[in-house]
Amino acid sequence: MARRYDPERRQRIIDAAIRVVGAKGLAGLSHRSVAAEADVPLGSTTYHFKTLDELMVAALRQANEGFAKVLATRGMLEDPQVDLANDLAALMGELLAGDRTGVELEYELYLAALRRPALRPVAAEWTEDIAALLSRRTDPVTARALLAVMDGICLQVLLTEVAYDEGYAREVLRRVLDGG
């Protein structure tokens, strides 16, 4: 049987892994579940990703890139006249509004690095990349503090199911930016 040329297969597998984790959590992720979701033979998933850790690394990297693109394209990092605390709080509000599957997925993969050392470099890359983006508007220490506060607020909202309070987030971010 001739091998079918399918240059998008690897990407479809990554997208399928993200959907599987979004629907079933990390516990539902397997080569078999991803192959079924991507509508590819099981051998395709193991050909492109020898281990589940490799597949999770690719999924986490893709999720991270998505957030970095959103942050970079908003204009808040280029224009010093933009109220950074306000725009970051609004961005978090958008991410946490309605369907939170994407945000939950990103944090689930990010926190999986606690138990899966293969994910740690990707989680560290994400922290460094986002801090570097935020450093366009502030110093590196404040940028990392902003990221920590944003992560903390998002996790609290996701874990407690308390409604996101944009005013509170704006005030906390502004205090970090003002140094007090």
According to the model, what pLDDT value does residue 2 have?
A: 43
Q: Does any domain span residue 19?
A: yes
pLDDT given for residue 150 in this prediction: 96
Per-residue model confidence (pLDDT) at position 180: 62
**Could you tell me the two tokens for 120?**
């740690």
- The whole-angstrom separation of Cα 134 and Cα 144 is 8
- Let me know if residue 61 belongs to a domain: no
Are 2 and 43 contained in the same domain?
yes
44 and 85 fall within a common domain:
no
Q: How far apart are CA 94 and CA 84, in angstroms?
A: 15
26 with 91, same domain: the answer is no
How many domains does the chain contain in total?
2
Say whether both 27 and 81 belong to one domain: no
Is 120 inside any structural domain?
yes
Residue 103 and residue 22 share a domain: no
Name 65's Cβ contacts closer than 8 Å, sequence gap at least 6. none
Q: Is residue 60 part of a domain?
A: no
Query: Contacts for 100-108 with beta carbons within 8 Å, 24 or more apart?
Result: 100/158, 101/22, 102/22, 102/63, 102/66, 103/154, 103/158, 104/22, 104/158, 105/18, 105/21, 105/22, 105/63, 106/60, 106/63, 106/64, 106/67, 107/154, 107/155, 107/158, 108/21, 108/25, 108/26
- Structural domain range at position 7: 1-50
> For the domain that residue 130 is a member of, what is the CATH number?
1.10.357.10
pLDDT 10s digit of each residue in the chain, 180 long? 445 667 799 999 999 998 898 888 888 999 999 999 999 999 999 999 999 999 988 988 888 787 788 888 888 888 888 899 999 999 999 989 877 777 888 888 888 888 889 889 988 988 999 999 999 999 999 999 999 999 999 999 999 978 999 999 999 999 999 986
**What was the pLDDT predicted at 55?**
93
In eight-state DSSP terms, residue 8 is T
Residues 110 and 36 in one domain: no
In a domain, 55, yes or no: no
3-state helix, strand, coil in the chain (%, to 5): 75, 0, 25
Note the pLDDT of residue 161.
76
